[in-house]
Amino acid sequence: MSSRIFPRLAVALAILALAQPVFAHEQVGVAGGLASGLLHPLTGMDHLIAMVAVGIWGAQLGAPAIWVLPITFPLVMALGGVLGVLRIPLPMPEVAIALSALVLGAAVALRLRLPFAAAAIVVAVFAVFHGHTHGAELPGSANPLAYGVGFVVATGLLHLCGITIGTLTRWPAGGRLIQGLGVVIAALGCYFLAQSLGAVA
Amino acid sequence: MKYWLAFTSIATAALIASAQTADAHIVASRLGDFYTGALHPLTDLQDLILWAAMGVLAGSLGASKGRWLVLAFPLGLLAGLGLGRATGFVSAGPAADAGMILVLGLLLAAAVRMPMALLCAIAFGLAVMRGAANAGDLGPETNRLLFAAGLACAGYAAITLTMAVTLAFRRPEAGASMAWRGIAIRAFGGWIAAIGLMMVGFAYAS
């Protein structure tokens, strides 16, 4: 019996002696700012579906939209971000963001082929509103630069995700699947629009 | 046998419990200031973004233009460090750093073809700025020569590796099938410019 107690006691002592403090979920400084910036566009469903829809629509429109979009969108969104940082208000931002999901989802569902300049203006207007919402959070974050890096990278990756999904348009079945996805995005946009107008809880 | 096992277990536990931090590397010795100089910029997000953007910009312009940065960038860091120590000038302010991020991002996003002299001037200016900023954390007991050597080595390694990776990724000789790689680099520039633009706004807001 004693021969079993001693090794166990020794192991228990060793474990206790080697114990280190646990730093789980250390949301401070750079790590905290980066995590909150990365998660901000991902945790808001209205932002997420609109960003993915932008990528899909860009892929449906083809060149030059498919490559101009990922280069210029973050910049236009950052313009909105600056307005948010400077606390310059925009009219009905929640309604505009919900509307962006509805309009972009409908554009994907209908395979709307606008001239490039018109499509760019539509996307740019919505980008300013999305950027404004993200930018308003920036001054309060643990590390503003890390927050900015996080949310720009997350937004860019959501576009990339949308463009990747959009490449399915090369196949007829994939094209129909994407149109169905556009219907879902537009329907969610309708819901968010009703919510922002106070029609649903 | 039983007592032997118990004795061995207790001895092992005592050995483990009395373990100390191993000083296998020479950070804790006199050469520690070299590592301080090398690691200091790599733990600052501002330095990381600016250095990466500079390296990618130089790499995107090709090896013939970028290779001079291998020399110009570390020398600029040393000049900035010396300037910071001599004059007490440590930072041009957050707006200048943010503006530099914005400019580098815009140059990348627009795929501007610039002459080698201008590229070297931008890299040297950036290195002077960041060298001076790193001088701000030099303590009175820090060995300046070792710190400067570490900083210059880190700058040399970071800029050379980033340029090399960008050149290898871009592969301009691969033709139209690899055109997306150039677009990816420009999109990266768009991201950098967006971060810079927001930080410019933040610098003026705070």
Gap between the Cα atoms of A56 and A94, Å rounded = 22
- Asked if residue A95 belongs to a domain, the reply is yes
Higher-confidence residue of B18 and B62: namely: B62
Cis omega (within 30 of 0) for bond into A89 = no
Cross-chain residue pair B45–A145, CB shorter than 8 Å: yes
Q: Which helix (H) or strand (E) holds B106?
A: helix B94-109
- Asked if residue A16 belongs to a domain, the reply is no
pLDDT of residue B80: 92
- Asked if residue B95 belongs to a domain, the reply is yes
- Asked if residue A3 belongs to a domain, the reply is no
Task: Give the domain range for residue A119.
Answer: 43-196
Q: Count structural domains, chain A.
A: 1
ipTM exceeding cut-off 0.85 for this assembly: no
What SS3 class is residue B21? coil
CB contact, 8 Å: B183 with chain A? yes
pLDDT of B127-168, one tens digit each? 999 998 888 877 778 888 899 999 999 999 999 999 999 999
Higher-confidence residue of B91 and A69: namely: A69
The shortest C-alpha distance from B206 to chain A (Å) reads 8
pLDDT of residue A33: 80
Largest CA distance in chain A: 85
Q: Which residues of A touch B200 (CB under 8 A)?
A: 82
Residues in chain A, pLDDT under 50: 21-27
- Asked if residue B158 belongs to a domain, the reply is yes
- Asked if residue A77 belongs to a domain, the reply is yes
Residue type present at position B107: L
CB contact, 8 Å: A146 with chain B? yes
Q: Which residues of A touch B48 (CB under 8 A)?
A: none
- Asked if residue A49 belongs to a domain, the reply is yes
pLDDT mean over B71-96 = 86
Percent of chain B with pLDDT over 70: 90
pLDDT of residue A28: 52
The shortest C-alpha distance from A175 to chain B (Å) reads 22
Closest CA to A11 of B17, B61, B81: B17
- Asked if residue B24 belongs to a domain, the reply is no
Contacts of B111 (CB under 8 A, 6+ apart): B60, B182, B185, B186, B189
The DSSP symbol for A18 reads T
pLDDT at residue B125 is higher than 90 = yes
Task: Give the domain range for residue B178.
Answer: 32-205
Residue type present at position B158: A
Q: Count structural domains, chain B.
A: 1
